[in-house]
Chain A
Amino acid sequence: EAAVTQSPRNKVTVTGGNVTLSCRQTNSHNYMYWYRQDTGHGLRLIHYSYGAGNLQIGDVPDGYKATRTTQEDFFLLLELASPSQTSLYFCASSDAEGYEQYFGPGTRLTVL
């Protein structure tokens, strides 16, 4: 049974559009992460959180907001989507910072 789930799995939007990506984990982990994966860049950290209401800035945060509403749920928000944000987005969770992370199946976002 998948412990990290993401929705939607695929999303197409237009430039300037509003997008929310959702992530839920049932691992009872404190930490949750949002990454983007692009060819040649590997996994790049956008935002992460160590608990409900907390948000930490990652390495590539520009153009993204995130919100952690509960221990289980972490959302990534693109309020004015741009074509440069076309990517594969992964959510992950871990028990502690810098420890083993468990990844979701990913959301493929296309911004036209």
Chain B
Amino acid sequence: QQQVRQSPQSLTVWEGETAILNCSYEDSTFNYFPWYQQFPGEGPALLISIRSVSDKKEDGRFTIFFNKREKKLSLHITDSQPGDSATYFCAASDQGGRALIFGTGTTVSVSP
């Protein structure tokens, strides 16, 4: 059973548009949600993260929106650039004895 789900599987946007990546989870004890960015040929790298006490976290053009009641979160990439083309993983943890649980990823392509 997939505890962390992501949608869509892939997404294509034009340069300058906003890309919206969705993530949902099952376990209400999860309280830490990092997003990782992975370029081809590289390992994933932490992009931005949020804790369940917050409903929004912003870092430049990347923003996480978090809805604890619905167990959903989304990553918004505003003013998308071709260099943002990558696979993005949502992950979750309760930071109390379990390793991070990763979603299956969303591959974003930004066309110039």
Which A residues lie at the B interface, using CB under 8 A?
A: 4, 31, 33, 35, 40-45, 48, 58, 90, 92, 96-106
Contacts and interface: CB of A to CB of B under 8 A. Distances in A.
Contacts of A105: 41-43
Q: Tell me if A's interface is mostly helix, strand, loop or mixed.
A: strand
A42 B99 contact: no
B28 to A, nearest CB: 15
Contacts of A35: 102
Contacts, number: 58
Chain B interface category by residue count: 20 to 34
Q: Tell me if B's interface is mostly helix, strand, loop or mixed.
A: loop
A58 B49 CA distance: 23
Interface stretch (B56-64, B68-76, B87-95): B87-95
The 7 nearest A-B residue pairs measured at CB: A103-B43, A98-B93, A42-B104, A98-B95, A43-B102, A42-B102, A42-B105
B89 A42 contact: yes
Contacts of B100: 98, 101
